[in-house]
Structure 1
Amino acid sequence: MSAPRETPGRWRMPAEWMPHEATLLTWPHDAGIWGRLMPDIQGTFARLAALLAEVEDVHIAAPAAWHGRVDEALRGAGADAARVTLHPVDSDDVWARDHGPIAVVPLGVPAPGQPPRLLLDWRFNAWGAKFPHERDDRVAAAMAERLGLPCRRMEMVLEGGAIEVNGEGDLITTRAVLLNANRGGSGDPAQAEETLREALGVERVIWLDEGLEGDDTDGHVDDIARFVDPCTVVLVQPADAAHPDHATMRRNRAILEASRGPGGRPFTLVDLPAPDPVAVDGQMLPASYANFAIANGRVIVPTFAQPADDRALGILRECFPGRDVVGLDARALITQSGAVHCVTQQLPAEGAR
């Protein structure tokens, strides 16, 4: 199989490990969502921003009335203020991976007048109208305007956490999300693939079945399988056959084993442990070490104060030998069914391929 055809005027979504200009965050501000965990979640975001600002710029969407409190939290975490910019952008919630813009760059030689980057503003409906989302659906366009970058509104509902690319033609997703009637599509995989190929420059779409138990997104891929290089995928594999995700992830592994990537080669699969099941009020939550974010020279991995934390960090250090792999306590984040990757969205540098 060949790499993506480098046709002038086409676009490609770079792999997350390509150079970044910045990472985008959306600050938590709704006490109705976080309740007594508001101080904890503010601290989590401040520590995340500080870790990111050590290696790249950070752009934070936050209501204007909150900027003073955000500045105070960032100072408390020791964030480099020179590398953090606050933008007066309103939102409903914090999940920048899903409501933020997805950046693409020219695929091959840019066509005359083709800009070096384009931000795609996909429709966002809060994973099937499960939560308020009118303000979230405007975040991508607002951030594009603030950043001075061209933006294209897309008709398809798509969340960044629903797709995983290697920058060389392959995209992994799940049927449970992209073909779900609650996203408003036709349910036709061929139609979805056509849109993904045209918008993101991919050639091969790998359809996994389902995601993790308790994932209110219906099964985002960024909780289960991630590229760490063009030919290597890390995927969650619970060791305990009684784990709620054991059977699902064995099926997903079999699909990846049968798939082929660049040059028709099979993927190398690296198993990640699953943390012990995490639940709140009896509700299973999708805690996963696969929900890491890649930054310039750094990988930030969610941790859950469990014995498996160190094993997961060790595996990911082997997968990213040139990067500083660090953990971030995600126990507050996971109460709302997300972690580190869910709250970040990369802005690739000009020229990233």
Structure 2
Amino acid sequence: MDKENNFNLIRLLAALQVMFFHTIEHLKLKVIPFLNYFSTYKGVIVLFTVSGYLIYLSLERNSTSIKQYIYNRLGRIYPALWVSTIISFFLLFFSGYLKISKIFNSKLLLYWFAQITIFQFWTPEILKNYGVGNPNGSLATITIELQFYFLILLIFLLKRKNIVFILLTVLSIILNIFVYTKFSKDLVYVKLFSVSIIPYFYNFMIGVYFAKYRKFLLKLIEGKFLMWLLLYNIYVYRYEKIPEYYIDFSILISNILLGILVLSFAFSFKKLSNFLIGDIDISYGIYLYHMLFLNFFIHKFGIIGAKERMLYYITLTFLVAILSDKFLERPILNYIKNKIRRK
């Protein structure tokens, strides 16, 4: 893949979108029109689309060494995830919420196990009164991302993977529309459905299809960001259909247009990412750590106190994300690549 693209910048902007709108929501801040406009660019949908494109290319590159693909994915997700879990533990302790007598509570031990494996969406009642009700609610999407990593690997190894891709994409769309238009989002089985790969699979597949058929499809988007930006805004504001995670058919079109727009930006103004951020990649860190500090400040000082200290929370998030990238994520990924290469 051409290294001159804007994927790092896109991931950073998507993570910032998630962070700042969590901040606005939980601190009950007034949204100025300029920021409200960017609420239409749902960060999670953007990240899923980009993930689909890059993960499929990673599989193609490592098709003769699946071990390399698995190590890369695990190395990308888990080291920083485990560090965030450790930070979460200490913040719960220093906030005064977690007492020494509760450290070995069975539900709490199960929660820590869930955080470091694949069940990040689960939070026990013992933690529901901390911060906004979940020490790190952003991690629910990690569960979905991990499902995608391994599902696409299994499909990739099949002989008739094209048919499976199409069937699962159609099934994802149909079930998403059916479940979220027919049932209440508060039902337990609907909540479980929402942390499965099923309703979001088509988001990933937008990226996958553009990666798989890039020789043809990139001609439709490369250098044409402004055209797709215009089409996206005309549709979203003409029909008042802002992208959402729970869809009907008209919102499905908004989500697809957003995915195409994002990929078009990746291959337009190709040197923009290098010019603005170089090889810095703190998007995962921002996504991973921001709710830890926001929850801590809300629990410790209340919403008003946290609002007054918002600059500290944002600074801490960026600082830890930078340190994580420099001393944890990047060294581990480099070590994995070099080790596999030597073998």
Rg larger for:
2
Which one scores higher on RCO, CA 8 angstroms, separation ≥ 6?
2
TM-score using structure 1 length: 0.28
Question: 1 or 2, which has the higher helix percentage?
Answer: 2
TM-score using structure 2 length: 0.29
